[in-house]
A = this chain, B = another copy of it.
Amino acid sequence: MIKILRVNMTERIATYEEVPEKYVHRGGRWLTSSIVCDEVPATCHPLGPNNKVVIAPGIVTGTAAPTSARISVGGKSPLTGTIKESNAGASFSQRLARLGIKAIIVEGQPIQTGEFWRLYINRDGARLEPASLTTGKGLYEAFPGLYQEYGGVEKVDILGIGVAGENLMATAGVCFNDIEGRPSRYAARGGMGAVLGSKGLKFIIVDDTDAPGVEIADQALFDQGRKKLADALTSHDITKPKGALNTYGTAVLVNIINEAGALPTRNFREGRFEGATKIAGEAIFEGNRKRTGKELYNHACSPGCIIRCSNTWHRPDGSEHTSCVEYETDWAFGANCGIDDLDIIAELNQLCNDYGLDTIEVGGAIAVAMEGGLAAFGDGKRAIELVHEIGRGTPVGRILGSGAVVTGKAFGVSRVPAVKGQNMPAYEPRAIKGIGMTYAISTMGADHTSGYTIAPEILGVSGKVDQFDVDKVKLVRNFQHATAFIDSSGHCLFIAFAILDIASGFDGMVEECNGVLGTDWNGDDVGRIGKEIIDMERSFNRTAGFTKADDRLPEFMTREPLPPHNTVWDIPDEKLDKVLG
């Protein structure tokens, strides 16, 4: 019996509810955005009692579907003021799904501010317990204690917020453990950790012992789909074992995007970073080989992933320093801050994981502060100090911890590469037009994962499109819709590489969903459902006060040419307005 778990933090009660008919076929982003639209007033204060956090596994999560352990975290974002869905790959989602929990809705807030609680869920129910002993501690200190208390990595998974979330910072993410129990997988963007912090919910521990498992309506169809998708993933060059992602991780993109002249460097002043090769995925692979004596192919962030792109970085003595140095993190602290040292980037990543921070937004905020004179570009030592300041909640830490836009205001910086309050990720819109259009029109603020047009624009996936071509209205729209569906299915967005190039892989994804739900969706339904999700999110944003004027890139990009191609942002507003109508 699937159900919704509603957790009221004012009353401190957790109760199970039946799943309303309209939600039965929904999962992941589709479900979080539906509940947020239905229950959260769009004009509420993100950190006030009327906001809610909705946590939902995807449609096929908890089954044997490959690469499908995504967990969506939704609500109104304190960073952007928009609706937000941020997702991570983590076994937490699988245990939740196997317990039959379609969604957790966290609402209300304690009368007494500064109180923190933890929620324990198992097959018998859910209960709130005081979390006071774990507040103020780093997640690398807190998680092992929780495992000890609740039965170990084999038995439970953990969702947690760090001190950044306790301090209500808009850069605070929601952390999940990886397979080895590291607090390293993040639904990072949009400050949902701060929303959980405002509700006084510090941890959720889920134990799926004797869980009933995910009901599958049509096992044969599901198995057929699963096989098709698995075959596609294991045969595509990007996603296959010892393929690009498994070998070099997402940081394989550093050299590629740098070569394309689109690696934002020193707060988006340039598109090519002279230190790129030193921080590229290849350098991580080689560095690890040198330091550990082994060829370290990457590991899965969650059980059942075929792609296995999660890396580690090792110290000179061969011991593990951090996991995982994603492309975005590598860039945010690397090229964007002018830092070309992997040991420093690894340390910055580790600190963000420990304090509970979104590396993209923190890197962006530090780069903007560097622009404003707080530190020199390239000063890695100072960058490390600054992340510690965020963790300690000092005044300068409060500025940076509030994200790039607030940092820009505090330091009087007008070159702030953000859309709807969210710092851009690692692709320069002046050099790759489709991703710029995506940043502009996304319901989530500047977000590459809302429609990864880099696939055709740079990687040649589903056919190569010129990066400078400006006629991408349809491309961008289709990616928005397809992505919203993938984010709802429970699969990692990285299946897109394989299913865009291999039609049977795409069919497999749809068949998996039909198998679980008993639906008869086809390819058109993917677009239809994706559009429904995006339209719903846009409607929330409109009520919250967003207009076409917010679907724009920052003004400076329209007048400052970006080296090396020396192009400006030149997509007319009318074209942007056509993407989602």
Contacts and interface: CB of A to CB of B under 8 A. Distances in A.
B555 A412 contact: no
Contacts of A580: none
Interface in A486-509: none
Contact of A394 (B46, B395, B411, B554): B395
B545 A412 contact: no
B406 A50 contact: no
Interface stretch (A4-12, A283-291, A337-345, A396-404): A396-404
Nearest to A547: B545
A554 B45 contact: yes
Interface in A41-72: 41-48, 50
B414 A47 contact: yes
Interface in A513-570: 543-550, 552, 554-556
Given A45-B556, A552-B43, A555-B44, A169 B412 contact: yes
Q: Which of A41, A194, A406 has the most B CB atoms < 10 Å from its CB? A: A406
Nearest to A49: B559
Contacts of A169: 412
Interface in A375-410: 394-396, 398-399, 401-402, 406, 409-410
A544 B549 contact: yes
A543 B554 contact: no
Contact of A556 (B48, B198, B552): B48
Nearest to A42: B549
A300 interface: no
A170 interface: yes
A99 B547 CA distance: 44
Contacts of A552: 43
Q: Which of A45, A546, A548 has the most B CB atoms < 10 Å from its CB? A: A45
B395 A45 contact: no
B402 A50 contact: no
Contacts of A45: 414, 554-556
A115 to B, nearest CB: 14
A133 to B, nearest CB: 22
A399 to B, nearest CB: 6
A549 to B, nearest CB: 3
A545 B555 contact: no
Interface string A393-435: 0111011011000100111101000000000000000000000
Given A48-B555, A48-B556, A395-B396, A43 B549 contact: yes
A549 B555 contact: no
A168 interface: yes
A438 interface: no
Contact of A395 (B48, B395, B554): B395
Contacts of A402: 406, 409-410
A167 interface: yes
Contact of A398 (B48, B411, B555): B411
A545 B543 CA distance: 13
Contact of A550 (B48, B396, B406, B545): B545
Contacts of A398: 395, 399, 410-411
Given A396-B395, A398-B399, A543-B549, A409 B170 contact: yes
9 contacts: A46-B414, A169-B412, A194-B412, A197-B412, A198-B414, A395-B398, A406-B410, A544-B549, A545-B548
Interface of A: 41-48, 50, 78, 167-170, 194, 197-198, 394-396, 398-399, 401-402, 406, 409-412, 414, 543-550, 552, 554-556
Given A48-B414, A395-B398, A398-B411, 14 more contacts: A42-B549, A44-B555, A45-B414, A47-B414, A48-B555, A167-B412, A168-B411, A168-B412, A394-B395, A402-B409, A402-B410, A406-B406, A543-B549, A545-B550
